[in-house]
Amino acid sequence: MTAPTDTTRQQTPTPRRPPHQPTASDQPSDPATGAPESAAACGIRPCWSADPYTDALRSGHGPLFLRRSDGWLLPLDVERWCASADAADMSVLRLCEGSVLDVGCGPGRLVAALSELGSRALGIDVSQEAVTRTVGLGATALCRSVFEALPGEGRWGSVLLLDGNIGIGGRPGALLERCGELLAPEGLLLAEAAPVDVDERVEVRIDDGRGAGEPVGQSFPWARVGAPALLRYAAHAGWSRAAQWESGERSFLALRRS
């Protein structure tokens, strides 16, 4: 596969400035104390709190995979997630408008990079270790699913779905609709597609690939979609393409509500 360049099919979205700026008061509160909810107090989802995933984030490296029931392994790029934002990441982050919600923020490199760019950003992740690492970088994060109640709903300037997170929940259409609820009316959704033409929804488990036994934790639904499939789901959910480009062998789309 020939490595694509940053300029392939690139169109620059017209900047807009949605009104919401997240503050500490946006954070969900402990009902007993009224204090902002800490990562440690959050409920942990069993799939992404499985030991191999937590261990990989703590160590900063894999191997780590999603294993399908037929044994096929999807590598997870833990080393890149735990590093600083790279050139491909920055090609996305520089397009962000207003306050930014990073869905499935992982160990926090994107939220931290946005903070360095002067943007207000919040990461959400269902892994406590991911949230802990993000906060350790000086960024802001909550232990929350995208399908749970979130601060600033309907007021975010940009929402990020990178690093395969279009697969969250195994239903790309439902996830795109949810992102529409989170964004301001003219907000920007920045999504990463699989680098190949694929459209699959499967049940997977976390696996460290070491062959020491059965995959760990509960199975959970996941999806992989390439750019053509993502555009189909987006159109059905009321999104239109504002830009499409490739960088570092990764494929990205910017979407706005039609």
Dist CA 76 CA 66 (whole Å): 7
Helix axes 128-136, 51-59, angle to 10 degrees: 20
The CA-to-CA distance between both ends of the chain, in Å, stands at 33
Mind spelling out the 3-state secondary structure of 51-118?
Answer: HHHHHHHHHCCCCCEEEECCCCEEECCHHHHHCCCCHHHHHHHCCCCCCEEEECCCCCHHHHHHHHCC
Output phi, psi for 133, to 5 deg.
-65, -40
pLDDT of residue 212: 57
Digit-by-digit pLDDT tens for the chain (258 residues) are 333 334 334 444 443 434 344 443 444 333 222 333 333 333 335 555 558 999 999 999 999 999 998 989 999 999 999 999 999 999 999 999 999 999 999 999 999 999 999 999 999 999 999 999 999 999 999 999 999 999 999 999 999 999 999 999 999 999 999 999 999 999 999 999 999 999 999 999 999 988 655 556 789 999 999 999 999 999 999 999 999 999 999 999 999 999
Q: How far apart are CA 208 and CA 65, in angstroms?
A: 6
Structure-token match 């993000």, residue found: 134
Q: Are 172 and 237 in contact (CB under 8 A)?
A: no
CATH of domain 85-205+216-257: 3.40.50.150
Backbone φ and ψ of 191, nearest 5°: -125, 150
Q: Residue 196 and residue 226: Cα distance in Å, rounded?
A: 5
pLDDT of residue 156: 99
What are the sequence ranges of the domains in the chain?
85-205+216-257
Torsion angle defined by CA atoms of residues 4, 5, 11 and 16, in that order, rounded to the nearest 10 degrees: 110
pTM summary value: 0.82
Sign of CA dihedral 148, 151, 153, 156: negative
Q: Are residues 168 and 190 in contact, defined by beta-carbon separation less than 8 angstroms?
A: no
Q: Would you state the structure tokens that stand for residue 3, as one six-digit string?
A: 């490595």
What is the structure's pLDDT at 51? 82
pLDDT score, position 218: 84
Q: Give the separation between CA 123 and CA 150, rounded to whole angstroms.
A: 11
Say how far apart CA 72 and CA 70 lie, in whole Å.
Answer: 6
